[in-house]
Amino acid sequence: MWNGHNLTEEIRAELFNNAQEMFKSKNKSRKIRSNFCEGKITTEWKTLRWAGIWGYAFSATVAWNSCRTKIDYIVRETDLRADQGFWAIPAPHQSFSGDSLVN
């Protein structure tokens, strides 16, 4: 995903999950509204190649807090299938006490 602002993991997950729903219903546009952001996602169901990855191209205009940006991204068809893909959100960082984790 690329845009003019830093996206949170929650916003990335929203975009990915909504792309999955669009794929399932074959819709070309979808409004999104969540606790993390709101906006609109569109696609023409055309494939693009970027950095060696082929996928369907999506565009989104998203607003959150005081930011608003346009995002262009691709998602592989394999990842769009709801039973095969998901956006993994990293676990929150835990504090490190300084003790070694390796004996």
CA 23 to chain centre: 14
95 in a structural domain: no
Per the structure, the count of domains in the chain is: 1
Predicted pLDDT of residue 96: 36
4 in a structural domain: no
51 in a structural domain: yes
50 in a structural domain: yes
Mean pLDDT per 10-residue interval, the chain, length 103 residues: 73 93 96 94 95 92 91 92 61 43 37
102 in a structural domain: no
**In angstroms, rounded to a whole number, what is the distance separating the alpha carbons of residues 32 and 61?**
10
Residues spanned by the domain of 54: 9-80
DSSP 82: T
Does this model's pTM top 0.95? My answer is no
Predicted pLDDT of residue 95: 41
24 in a structural domain: yes
Predicted pLDDT of residue 8: 87
**In angstroms, rounded to a whole number, what is the distance separating the alpha carbons of residues 57 and 49?**
9
**In angstroms, rounded to a whole number, what is the distance separating the alpha carbons of residues 51 and 19?**
20
φ/ψ of 43, rounded to 5, equals -155, 155
Predicted pLDDT of residue 86: 56
Predicted pLDDT of residue 98: 42
94 in a structural domain: no
